[in-house]
Structure formats: structure tokens, C-alpha cells
């Protein structure tokens, strides 16, 4: 297979594959294959034209060589296709929409009048059936108004108006269904599992293996803070599992041998070994889709208000139509009022605006689990940040290892890495990475590893208890001591670093100094948030007062709290809410989970602990904090759009009713304007709310020069 370069500029290339057609699975496969490449920044594949648009980093030749060696057969073996493809959904609704428009045009142009009338009468049946259903259930809803307006138009012989009303209603329903399904699919894909490796129990012990190698029947180990990657049955151990992401249960559920655990849930306490029942974990996708579709509590207050107001206005529209007929004795004027109702636009536009905002947030690498959380972000006046891995850099590094009691530096680092690799966190990752950089193999040589109340890790090595964690955990909770004669060395530890304390046998063995530089964009992001209405920014950290003060000054936060425990973070957030503040909490670790739950909206960083991502209402990518600014922009733009939709719907439809009563608008024109306005406000609700902050297109400065040529790819 080969391809032709249609256009090229710096960091961007457009290629046309030299094949007559491309199937939907092929387009998905090529796009997924390209997204896996480290140099690919953004990929778009158009299956109809066989074109590929690629934004990339690095060497152009490396990218072209990859294209040359591309093979459909090899790609099928190495690349996992998404279980649910949005391409198929888009194609389905495109065909439905085109079919409806062509059918309407063909009927108007080619069918004789008697056949058009018969077609319209047949087409009326579903609308009349739904209207009668409302009548029998004694509910006055928009379906009843639609049925009455269509039926009265047909009875008056105005089949053109009846047909146009039905066509516009069907197009509106089709657009609503497509937007809702597409938004739900996009959101579900964002919330689906992205687990790369798991600990598998074998005869030789625990082995870290790619998740793709796990098969039904394999035994997988999950510890506190870990995400359960597949459906399975507990074989050993007892754990408490947070299932809120699937069931909505706020209280963790205990799981014992014989109990079932499900993909996407998170172990809060304990550890277990479970037997895999469904290796792929794809059931998680369907569960999320069901949760999103059924979860009423995730609706924003604005959506609920719109739905309630829409239903309340239907009787008034109906009463206005009757009153118009009584006063004027003119059926056309009464019908003009009946053709107009507020509920269509209100019920349709508000949910579409929220779902579109969630989709737009997804394109900005922000996952939002419900409309009410966007509303909370827009209303927030206070943001509370965890320090490590949130305000500071996502990839801290080990700067120094200070040993005590005559311990060896290499051995202490190896031991620390062996413990920390079980509980991924930014500081834990730094320890593991440093051991790897020094070539230290930290094979399992300890007994059961236990994460203790989000303070630290405990294990046993050669019959000796080993601890690693914060100063509070090691010295206050576990009563460990500093070796005699080394107090002065301990007090001389560099204050500019964060510290991890390693103790063995009740005595301090080493202090690992972590260089945790502030994110480059932190100060600018905080300033941007202040210009958008955020009144207070706070940093919470378990670090010492001196270290916290230094970081707070660099970041430019309004306030900070040092040496706080997980419970203290949650208590502080709760106190702010009791004082009347709308609070956002941003964090990435297991110890941030209580505070994330306590806030009006909890925001987790995507590469943080699994339990933080599951408990959080919103997840942002770990690249930078500008996504918080984009989230705030989207949320505020959403609320402004909802309010403007209210003003337009009430004002425009009120004007149509008034003009209909006065006799200025005939029923056909009234119905057409009402339905067109409903479609217009719905399409506006589906449009982009804001221009995305740093998007790929804005980061790339295209060159004026354009090139063309041919890239020869291997032919299968």
C-alpha cells in the first residue's frame, strides 16, 4: 500500500491512501495505530476520502518511515480496536438524516396530491398515538400539543402544514438522539479503563505483566488504592471496594473470598487475589453508558429546571389556544397558538448544551461525569490544591538519599523502590524511577505489603518491620526513633526538598529527598483563574511548614496549610463549604480522596492514584494545569448559553403566540417559525462554546510553503 502527500507544513501532514475505499474498521485501526506512536499528537482519518491528517513531533523522516512499513495485517495483531466505534454511529445518523430529507423532497416534488395526503395521514399515526397516550394517562405534555396541532391542521385540510410540522419534529428528534448518543459514547470512552499492567500471581510469585496477556482463570493481585482491571471472583484476602463509579454506592463494600469484583472499581483498604472472569474488562464500557443514561442525579440544576418548566408551560399554551378561540371565534388563530409551545426548545436545548459542553471538555482532555459538576465549576469561588503532583511537577525526582544507622545508600533505595512500586503516586514513581536509573533490581523479597490509612507503607523483611512514609507516620504513629548520635545529621536535612522516611526495626534507616519542582505554568494558571472570578486559592500539603511556605510563595496561592493529614484536608474543605463557599478540590493521591468527595466538585489528575480518579467528579490530563482554565471557561460559557437559551425561547415563542392571537401569523407560518427556532437553538446548543486553550492547532505554527509528493508504503 502507498500514499500521496497532499499538503505538508511544519508538524502537520495530509496524506491520501492509494486505495479505492476504506472500511470503518480499517479507519479505526489506522487511527488507533497512529495514536500509539510517540510522535503523533493528533490524528484524524477520513474513511470516505481515504485521507489522513496528522500532527506530529520530532523527525519527519521517522514518521514517514513508519508509514512506509505500515501493514494492515501487522496492525491488526498489535493494535487493539475500540469496542464501540463512533464512526459507525455517525454514519448511521448521517444516513438517517439524508434519507429523511430526500424522502421529504421526493414526496413534495413527485407524488401527486392524493398520495401525499395518504402519506401524511399514515405518518400522523405515531404522533396521534403518543398524544392519546398522554390523554389516557391524564398528563398534559408536549406530545399532546403536537398531536392536536397536527390533527387539527389535517382536519382543516392544511396537509402541507401538518407534513412540515412532522418533518421538523422528526429532524429535531433525530438530532437530539444523535447528539445524546454521541456525547454518551465520547464520555464513556473517556471514563473507560486505561490500565497497562497488572500484578499476576504465578507459581514463582508476583509478576508485573501487560494487561493484554491476562486470560480468564489467571490470578491477579490488587492492593489498597489500586483499580480492579477486570471482572473476577476473590480467591484470597479481604478488601473494601469503592463501587461508586458503577453503582453510586457512597459506602465502600467489603469483599471476601467468593465475592465478585468488577472492572473499574477501586480497592480502598486491604489487598486481595482474584480470579479473572472477563479478561478484556470491556463490560466496564456498557456499565458506564448505562450509568450515564440512567443517572438523574448527575443532571445540572439548570437541566432539571428546564425540564420542570417545560412541563409546567404546556397547560398554559393549551389554555391560551382555547382562550384565543373563545375570544376570536377564529380557529386559525387558536391553531397558531397551539402550534407554539415552550417545552420543545427548553427540553431539547438544555440537555444538548450540557452534553455538548461535556464533549468539548473531553476534547480538551477533561472528563466530566455529569452536568451538575460543570455547574459547580462555574459557580466556584475557591479552589483548594494538593501540592505534590498537582501544583508541583508531575514527575518529581530523587535528589539525594541520606542514610542513618550505617545503612548503605543503594540498598535503602532498592528497598524503598520495592515497597513503593505497589502503590503508584508521583513521589513513589520517583523512587522507582531512580532505582531503575541506577540499575537496582528490586525483586520481591518482603512479605505482605500494607498501605496504612493513607499515611505510609508497611512490610516485613527478614523478620524485621519496614516502614516508609511521612514524618508523622514514621515518628508519631509508629514511634520510630532516630539512631543515637545522628540527631544533628537529621536536623541538617535540606529543607527545600520533600522527604520520604524509611525505617527498619523501629529506627530511621534513610531519608529520601525528593526534588518536586513547581509546575512552570502554576502561577500563570492561578492568575488566569482569578481573572475568571476565583476569589481564593489554597494549597494543602503534608510537608513541613518551611517547605510549604517556600512552595506557596513560588506558586502565588492566597493561603496554605502544612503538615495536614487526609482527614484534615477533608475537614478543611467541609469548613469552607459551611462558610458558604463553593469549593473545588484538585488532587492526585489516595490521601486526597476524602477531600475530593467533600468538595462541590472534586478534580483529579489523570496520572494520579486510581481511587482519586474514580472518586473525583472531573479528571484532567497530567500535562499541565491550563486545562483548569479551559474547564472554567467551558463551564461559564455553558451557563451563559443556558441563560441565553432561556431568554430566546421565552421571548421568541412568546412573540409568536402574541402574533398568532392578533392574527398576523397563519398556523403554517407559526408552526414553521416555532420548529425552526427550536432546531436553531438546539443546533446552537451543539456548537462550540469556546476556542480551546492550548490546542494542537494553536501550538503549531504552519509554514507557508506547501509540498506534495508520494510516500510508498509496503503493499500487502
Per-residue pLDDT reduced to its tens digit, 63-115: 888 888 888 888 877 676 665 667 877 888 888 888 888 988 888 888 888 88
Instruction: Work out the pLDDT band at 716, boundaries 50, 70, 90.
Output: very low
Residues 248-276, mean pLDDT to the nearest whole number: 80
Q: If you classify domain 366-392+518-622 with CATH, what class do you get? A: alpha beta
Helix (H, G, I), strand (E, B) or coil at 239: strand
Q: What is the 3-state secondary structure (H, E, C) of 532-577?
A: CCCCEEEEECCCCHHHHHHHHHHHCCCEEECCCCHHHHHHHHHHHH
Residues 14-36, mean pLDDT to the nearest whole number: 86
**Eight-state DSSP code of residue 360:** H
Instruction: Work out the pLDDT band at 564, boundaries 50, 70, 90.
Output: confident
**Residue pointed to by grid coordinates 484476602:** 237
Please calculate the CA angle 266-271-274 and round it to the nearest 5 degrees: 80
Instruction: Work out the pLDDT band at 344, boundaries 50, 70, 90.
Output: low
Instruction: Work out the pLDDT band at 713, boundaries 50, 70, 90.
Output: very low
What's the pLDDT at 412? 92
Helix (H, G, I), strand (E, B) or coil at 13: strand
Residues written for the chain: 716
Question: Is the pLDDT higher at 706 or at 540?
Answer: 540
Most confident region among 67-71, 212-216, 650-654 by mean pLDDT: 67-71
**Is 3-81 CATH 1.10.1060?**
no
| Exposed / middle / buried, residue 560 (Cβ in 10 Å: 0-12, 13-18, 19+) | buried
Neighbours of 642 (CB within 10 A): 23
Instruction: Work out the pLDDT band at 701, boundaries 50, 70, 90.
Output: very low
Is 690 in contact with 634 (CB distance < 8 Å)? Answer: yes
Give the DSSP H/E element, type plus range, for residue 173. Answer: helix 159-191
Neighbours of 168 (CB within 10 A): 18
Helix (H, G, I), strand (E, B) or coil at 233: strand
Measured distance CA(470)–CA(120) in Å, rounded: 75
Question: Is the pLDDT higher at 468 or at 268?
Answer: 468
Looking at the DSSP assignment, which residues form a beta bridge with residue 450? Answer: 458
Evaluate if residue 35 carries a pLDDT over 90.
no
What's the pLDDT at 682? 74
Is 528 in contact with 503 (CB distance < 8 Å)? Answer: no
Residues 562-567, mean pLDDT to the nearest whole number: 79
Evaluate if residue 610 carries a pLDDT over 80.
no
Evaluate if residue 190 carries a pLDDT over 80.
no
Helix (H, G, I), strand (E, B) or coil at 461: strand
| Ordered alpha helix ranges (H), 267-408 | 283-294, 301-328, 331-338, 343-363, 371-379
Residues 200-224, mean pLDDT to the nearest whole number: 82
Query: Nearest to residue 273, comparing CAs of 239, 235, 238?
Result: 235
What's the pLDDT at 170? 80
Torsion of CA 203, 206, 209, 214, to 10 degrees: 60
DSSP string, 423-453: S--HHHHHHHHHHHHTT------SS--EEET
Measured distance CA(16)–CA(53) in Å, rounded: 9
Evaluate if residue 410 carries a pLDDT over 80.
yes
Question: Is the pLDDT higher at 121 or at 161?
Answer: 121
Measured distance CA(679)–CA(323) in Å, rounded: 28
**Is 397-515 CATH 3.40.1110.10?**
yes
Spans of all domains in the chain = 3-81, 91-188+298-354+636-686, 197-280, 366-392+518-622, 397-515
What's the pLDDT at 534? 93
Mean pLDDT of the chain: 78
Instruction: Work out the pLDDT band at 612, boundaries 50, 70, 90.
Output: low
Which grid cell is 296? 438523574
What's the pLDDT at 19? 84
Measured distance CA(422)–CA(282) in Å, rounded: 24
What's the pLDDT at 703? 35
Evaluate if residue 293 carries a pLDDT over 70.
no
Evaluate if residue 402 carries a pLDDT over 90.
yes
Residues 247-253, mean pLDDT to the nearest whole number: 60
Which grid cell is 684? 446552537
Query: Nearest to residue 685, comparing CAs of 90, 167, 176, 101?
Result: 176
Q: CB within 8 A of 491, min separation 6: which ones? A: none
Looking at the DSSP assignment, which residues form a beta bridge with residue 560? Answer: 539
Is 659 in contact with 339 (CB distance < 8 Å)? Answer: no
Measured distance CA(55)–CA(700) in Å, rounded: 9
Question: Is the pLDDT higher at 12 or at 145?
Answer: 12
What's the pLDDT at 303? 59
Is 16 in contact with 6 (CB distance < 8 Å)? Answer: yes
**Is 197-280 CATH 3.30.70.920?**
no
Please calculate the CA angle 569-575-578 and round it to the nearest 5 degrees: 145
Instruction: Read off the pLDDT of residues 663-673 as tens digits, 9 standing for 90 and up.
Output: 777 766 776 78
* 577-586 per-residue burial string, b: 16 or more CB within 10 A, e: under 16: eeeebbbbbb
The pLDDT > 70 percentage for the chain reads 78
What's the pLDDT at 251? 62
Evaluate if residue 712 carries a pLDDT over 90.
no
**Eight-state DSSP code of residue 591:** G
Is 627 in contact with 394 (CB distance < 8 Å)? Answer: no
Evaluate if residue 193 carries a pLDDT over 60.
no
Which grid cell is 246? 458503577
What's the pLDDT at 539? 93
Is 5 in contact with 14 (CB distance < 8 Å)? Answer: yes
Instruction: Read off the pLDDT of residues 113-142 as tens digits, 9 standing for 90 and up.
Output: 888 888 888 988 888 888 888 888 877 777
Our measurement of the distance from residue 347's CA atom to the centroid of its chain's CA atoms, rounded to an integer in Å, reads 24
Backbone angles phi, psi at 319, to 5 degrees: -65, -40
Instruction: Read off the pLDDT of residues 474-514 as tens digits, 9 standing for 90 and up.
Output: 988 889 999 999 999 998 888 778 788 999 999 999 999 98
Evaluate if residue 453 carries a pLDDT over 50.
no
Evaluate if residue 451 carries a pLDDT over 70.
no
Evaluate if residue 679 carries a pLDDT over 80.
no
Evaluate if residue 152 carries a pLDDT over 60.
yes
Amino acid at each position: 500500500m502507498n500514499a500521496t502527500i497532499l499538503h505538508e507544513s511544519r508538524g502537520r501532514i495530509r496524506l491520501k491512501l492509494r486505495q479505492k475505499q476504506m472500511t470503518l474498521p480499517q479507519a479505526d485501526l489506522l487511527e488507533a495505530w497512529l495514536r500509539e506512536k510517540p510522535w503523533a499528537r493528533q490524528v484524524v482519518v477520513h474513511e470516505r476520502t481515504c485521507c489522513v491528517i496528522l500532527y506530529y513531533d520530532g523527525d519527519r523522516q521517522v514518521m514517514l518511515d513508519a508509514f512506509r512499513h505500515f501493514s494492515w495485517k501487522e496492525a491488526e495483531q498489535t493494535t487493539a480496536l475500540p469496542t464501540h466505534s463512533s464512526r459507525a454511529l455517525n454514519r448511521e445518523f448521517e444516513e438517517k438524516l439524508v434519507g429523511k430529507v430526500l424522502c421529504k423532497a421526493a414526496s413534495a416534488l413527485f407524488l401527486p396530491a392524493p398520495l401525499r395526503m395518504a402519506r401524511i395521514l399514515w405518518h400522523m399515526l405515531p404522533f396521534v398515538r403518543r398524544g392519546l397516550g398522554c390523554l389516557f394517562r391524564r398528563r398534559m405534555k408536549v406530545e399532546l400539543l403536537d398531536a392536536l396541532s397536527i390533527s387539527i391542521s389535517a382536519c382543516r385540510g392544511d396537509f402541507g402544514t401538518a407534513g412540515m410540522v412532522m418533518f421538523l419534529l422528526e429532524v429535531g428528534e433525530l438530532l437530539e438522539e444523535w447528539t445524546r448518543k454521541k456525547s454518551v459514547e465520547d464520555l464513556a470512552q473517556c471514563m473507560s479503563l486505561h490500565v497497562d499492567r497488572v500484578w499476576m500471581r504465578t507459581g514463582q510469585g508476583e509478576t508485573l505483566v501487560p494487561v493484554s496477556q491476562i486470560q480468564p482463570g489467571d490470578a491477579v493481585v490488587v492492593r489498597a488504592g489500586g483499580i480492579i482491571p477486570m471482572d473476577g471472583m476473590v480467591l484470597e484476602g479481604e478488601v473494601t471496594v469503592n463501587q461508586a463509579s458503577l453503582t453510586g454506592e457512597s459506602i465502600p463494600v467489603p469483599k471476601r473470598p467468593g465475592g465478585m469484583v468488577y472492572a473499574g472499581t477501586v480497592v480502598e483498604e486491604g489487598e486481595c487475589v482474584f480470579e479473572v472472569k472477563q479478561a478484556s474488562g470491556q463490560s466496564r464500557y456498557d456499565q458506564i453508558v448505562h450509568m450515564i443514561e440512567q443517572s438523574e442525579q448527575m443532571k445540572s440544576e439548570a437541566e432539571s429546571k428546564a425540564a420542570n418548566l417545560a412541563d409546567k408551560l404546556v397547560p398554559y399554551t393549551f389554555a391560551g389556544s382555547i382562550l384565543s378561540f373563545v375570544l376570536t371565534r377564529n380557529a386559525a388563530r387558536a391553531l397558531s397558538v397551539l402550534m407554539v409551545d415552550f417545552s420543545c426548545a427548553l427540553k431539547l436545548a438544555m440537555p444538548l448544551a450540557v452534553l455538548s459542553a461535556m464533549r468539548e471538555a473531553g476534547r480538551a482532555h477533561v472528563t466530566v461525569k455529569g452536568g451538575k459538576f460543570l455547574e459547580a465549576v462555574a459557580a466556584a469561588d475557591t479552589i483548594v490544591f494538593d501540592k505534590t503532583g498537582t501544583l508541583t511537577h508531575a514527575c518529581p525526582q530523587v535528589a539525594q538519599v541520606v542514610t542513618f544507622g550505617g545503612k548503605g545508600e543503594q540498598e535503602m533505595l532498592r528497598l524503598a523502590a520495592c515497597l513503593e512500586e505497589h502503590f503508584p503516586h508521583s513521589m513513589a514513581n520517583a523512587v522507582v524511577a531512580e532505582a531503575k536509573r541506577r540499575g537496582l533490581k528490586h525483586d520481591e523479597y518482603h512479605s505482605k505489603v500494607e498501605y496504612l490509612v493513607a499515611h505510609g507503607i508497611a512490610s516485613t523483611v527478614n523478620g524485621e518491620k519496614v516502614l516508609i512514609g511521612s514524618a508523622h507516620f514514621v515518628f508519631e504513629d509508629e514511634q520510630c526513633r532516630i539512631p543515637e548520635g545522628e540527631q544533628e545529621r537529621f536536623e541538617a536535612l535540606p529543607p527545600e526538598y520533600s522527604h520520604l522516611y524509611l525505617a527498619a526495626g523501629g529506627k530511621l534507616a534513610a531519608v529520601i529527598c525528593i526534588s518536586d519542582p513547581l509546575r512552570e505554568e502554576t502561577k500563570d494558571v492561578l492568575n488566569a483563574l482569578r481573572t475568571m472570578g476565583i476569589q481564593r486559592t489554597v494549597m494543602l500539603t503534608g510537608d513541613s511548614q518551611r517547605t510549604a511556605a517556600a512552595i506557596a510563595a513560588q506558586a502565588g496561592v492566597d493561603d496554605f496549610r502544612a503538615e495536614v493529614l487526609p482527614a484534615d484536608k477533608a475537614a478543611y474543605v467541609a469548613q469552607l463549604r459551611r462558610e458558604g463557599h463553593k469549593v473545588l478540590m484538585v488532587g492526585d493521591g489516595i490521601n486526597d480522596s476524602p477531600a475530593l468527595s467533600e468538595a462541590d466538585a472534586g478534580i483529579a489528575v489523570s496520572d494520579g492514584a486510581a481511587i482519586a480518579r474514580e472518586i473525583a467528579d472531573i479528571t484532567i490530563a497530567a500535562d499541565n494545569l491550563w486545562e483548569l482554565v479551559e474547564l472554567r471557561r467551558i463551564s461559564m460559557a455553558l451557563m451563559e448559553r443556558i441563560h441565553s437559551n432561556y431568554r430566546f425561547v421565552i421571548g421568541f415563542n412568546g412573540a409568536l403566540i402574541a402574533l398568532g392571537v392578533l392574527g398576523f401569523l397563519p398556523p403554517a407560518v407559526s408552526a414553521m417559525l416555532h420548529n425552526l427556532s427550536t432546531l436553531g437553538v438546539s443546533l446552537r446548543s451543539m456548537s462550540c462554546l469556546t476556542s480551546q486553550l492550548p490546542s494542537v492547532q494553536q501550538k503549531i505554527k504552519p509554514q507557508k510553503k506547501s509540498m506534495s509528493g508520494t510516500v510508498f508504503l509496503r503493499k500487502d
